[in-house]
């Protein structure tokens, strides 16, 4: 049985395991390589889950638009991370 945490990918859950073909970075819309950053499962922000956010991230198959997906820091946030929230794992 495999259980996935909502909004987590195999990259999040299996990074560092033997034989796991997992990404260490992503590409943003400017062509820059952004290293994936580990974070806690509990966060003070959320990414846009709309179809429009998916279309922006997918970018006609280039998969380089994650930085165009908006983020929302919760009003009670005491430690909302800074730039490139979309690349936190």
| pTM for this prediction | 0.69
Q: Is residue 42 part of a domain?
A: yes
* pLDDT tens digits, one per residue of 59-68: 999 999 999 9
> Is residue 62 one of the residues assigned to a domain?
yes
Residue 1 lies in a domain: no
| Number of domains the chain is built from | 1
Range of the domain at 82: 10-87
Q: Is residue 14 part of a domain?
A: yes
Residue 64: inside a domain, yes or no?
yes
pLDDT score of 5 = 58
Task: Tokens 């983020």: give the residue.
Answer: 71
Distance CA 2, CA 26 (A): 25
Digit-coded pLDDT (tens) for 5-21? 555 666 667 777 888 77
């Amino acid at each position: 049985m495999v259980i996935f945490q909502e909004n987590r990918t195999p990259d999040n859950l299996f990074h560092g395991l033997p034989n796991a073909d997992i990404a260490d970075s992503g590409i943003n819309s400017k062509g820059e390589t952004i290293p994936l950053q580990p974070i806690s499962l509990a966060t003070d922000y959320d990414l846009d889950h709309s179809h429009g956010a998916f279309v922006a991230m997918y970018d006609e198959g280039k998969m380089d638009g994650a930085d165009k997906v908006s983020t929302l820091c919760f009003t009670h946030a005491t430690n909302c991370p800074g730039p490139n929230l979309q690349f936190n794992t």
